[in-house]
Amino acid sequence: MSELPEGDEYVESADYVCDTYICERANFAPKIWAREPEVDQPRTTNSAEGFHRQYNASLTGHHPNIHVLNKCLLDIPATTYTKFKSIAAEDPPSGHSIVLRRKKKEKVVEMYQSMLGGGCSIYSYLSFAGFQYSPVEL
């Protein structure tokens, strides 16, 4: 791997990840934990994971004030309702986050198809997809 830092511990870690999760003969091969990306499907089917992502993004610090926690818990259903209404809208504005996410998913699906057709390596695809969904600093 060209972007691997020097050192035996890095090589061992990279070999472990490849041997365990990425190679076709891996203990947990991609066919177990990954699926073909689809434009119209959510990135996760786990609603609890989505809730916790929004919950953690809304709170700062380990022990929030009870009023801040209460507001967070009340805002989550309102945000979810707003998202559903936006999705149901026939023509959201071009800069709308739903449109931007859809374009991002379309790019990932396009890159995935390129990988299947031999146009790029699995490493290139994973680097591209990982960058598309990299964390955003608040």
Indicate whether 61 and 105 sit together in one domain: yes
Indicate whether 22 and 63 sit together in one domain: no
pLDDT in the model for residue 91? 59
Indicate whether 92 and 63 sit together in one domain: yes
In a domain, 56, yes or no: yes
Total domains, the chain: 2
In a domain, 138, yes or no: no
**Over 80: is that where the pLDDT of 8 sits?**
yes
Question: Mind giving me the DSSP string for 52-69?
Answer: HHHHHHH--SSS--HHHH
* Contact predicate 23/29, CB 8 Å: yes
What DSSP state is assigned to residue 4? P
Indicate whether 49 and 63 sit together in one domain: yes
Burial of 69 (0-12, 13-18, 19+ CB in 10 A): middle
In a domain, 74, yes or no: yes
Range of the domain at 13: 1-34
Indicate whether 67 and 127 sit together in one domain: yes
Mean pLDDT comparison of 23-32, 92-101, 114-123, highest-scoring range? 114-123
Indicate whether 59 and 14 sit together in one domain: no
Indicate whether 27 and 60 sit together in one domain: no
Indicate whether 15 and 81 sit together in one domain: no
Confidence category of residue 70, pLDDT binned at 50, 70, 90: confident
CA quadruple 105, 108, 109, 110: dihedral positive or negative? positive
CA–CA separation, 136 and 108 (whole Å): 18
Indicate whether 71 and 106 sit together in one domain: yes
Indicate whether 30 and 42 sit together in one domain: no
For residues 20-46, average pLDDT: 72
The dihedrals phi and psi of 97, each to the nearest 5 degrees, come to -60, -30
Higher pLDDT among residues 40 and 110, named by residue: 110
In a domain, 45, yes or no: yes
